[in-house]
Amino acid sequence: MHIQVLISLQISPLFLILYANQCQTTENPTRHARSNEWSPVSYAEMRAFIGLVLAMGIVKKSSIESYWEASGISETPNFRDVMSRNRFQAILRYLHCSDNTTAVPRGQSGYDPLHKINPVVEFFNEVFELNYRLSQNIVVDERIVGFKGRHVLKQYISNKKAHRWGAKLFVLAESRTGYTHQINVYKGKRNTERHPNGQGYKSVMDLVRPHFGKNHHVTMDNWFSSPKLMNDLRNRGTYATGTVIARRKGLPASFKTARLPKGSVVVKSQRDLLAILYVDRRNVTFLTTSENARNCFLVQRKLDHVKFQNAVVRGLIGDFRGGNRRRGRRPDNIPIANAIRMHFLDVIPDGKRRKCVKCSGYNKYRKSRISTWCSVCGVGLCVGRCFREFHSYGQEE
């Protein structure tokens, strides 16, 4: 598929000229000040500036000045070929995307902390929507744009691996390709009106509203989802699926206090809404308006380290038995029935735990239990010394 990216930068030179003139008038520069060398920015130069900014995200250095260093093993001569350092820093200093005369001061009614970037966000949302048509499956999620400076938009989210500090975005994207279709920048509690159904509800409805009635299927996590959100989306021609916090209003009371064995499934339904409780390592609750209660596929967890080691050992050894053979007999002629037994350390099935027969022999009052055993002998054994000593002295017999 050919996607034509439409990026119009014609407004940027105008803003640069106006803001540069404003700064020069306010600062009253001296005769030899660098700002006296300012000249208007052309369309081609603005494109080159943005290209260098994007390149800095690929080639990362400690400071902006280091990209123009003329010596060293990390020299990047292409930056000097495109634009001088002074010119780049001048454009960066005067780059402006909003009209300060219309800005509402902080503390007054109508103050918008996104005033300086709103034109950019709105422009890219238009470009995202213009150049790509979403498929049926979409997702709403939050992202963090890493930033540790001082700003009212800075948030801290502990479970984010890439960036814990930064500006939070609510994003509508396509599930299959990950294409970003719309973004909303979170303004923080102080600058956001409280919604009766919660910020998660409002974020999803704002992002999905242009796509109501198109039978899209939106997926979300438990920060967003709730029974009311699922029903409201379904009434507007949009399917939804997502994990949900068990204490959400509208969920069965039994979901909050359920104590069930691993692998159990509980299903509750109300009209088009299906609530499912699945017990894995912990209780997992999710809602959907697009599926019925059936097993679609079997999920297999990755092997833990001990299981992986045993699988490799069994694969390498196979049916080969060449130990304790009589002299003169070829290994491949030894009957399998007469071969010695092979003992392997396995994880006890179904998550059960046992006492180690060696450790409990040393100390009968020891209460700790382990999850590994010898599947041939049927006894619990610790990894390492206990397993080795138990089979070294013939105690398995």
Beta bridge partners of 219: 139, 241
How does pLDDT run across 312-331, given as a tens digit for each residue? Answer: 666 665 655 544 445 554 54
- pLDDT the model gives residue 323: 45
Residues 94-100 have a mean pLDDT of: 80
According to DSSP, residue 354 is labeled: B
How far apart, in whole angstroms, are the C-alpha atoms of residue 124 and residue 182?
8
- Confidence label for 12 from pLDDT (cuts 50, 70 and 90): very low
Q: How many CA atoms lie within 13 A of 52 on its CB side?
A: 24
Residues 385-390 have a mean pLDDT of: 78
- pLDDT the model gives residue 241: 92
How far apart, in whole angstroms, are the C-alpha atoms of residue 62 and residue 71?
15
Has residue 130 got a pLDDT over 90? no
How far apart, in whole angstroms, are the C-alpha atoms of residue 245 and residue 251?
9
Chain CA centroid to CA 22, Å: 42
- Confidence label for 165 from pLDDT (cuts 50, 70 and 90): confident
- Confidence label for 309 from pLDDT (cuts 50, 70 and 90): low
- pLDDT the model gives residue 306: 64
Say if CB 260 and CB 276 are below 8 A apart: no
Extents of the domains making up the chain: 11-96, 107-192, 210-301, 305-318+336-392
- Distances in Å between the Cα of 354 and the Cα atoms of 9, 261, 305, 373, 378 are 69, 18, 19, 8, 10
Has residue 337 got a pLDDT over 50? no
How does pLDDT run across 277-305, given as a tens digit for each residue? Answer: 888 888 888 899 887 656 555 555 565 66
Say if CB 249 and CB 279 are below 8 A apart: no
Say if CB 177 and CB 202 are below 8 A apart: no
Give the tokens for residue 37. Answer: 């060398």
Has residue 35 got a pLDDT over 60? no
> Beta strand pairing status for 239-243 and 217-220?
parallel
Residues 147-162 have a mean pLDDT of: 76
Provide the greatest CA pair distance for the chain.
102
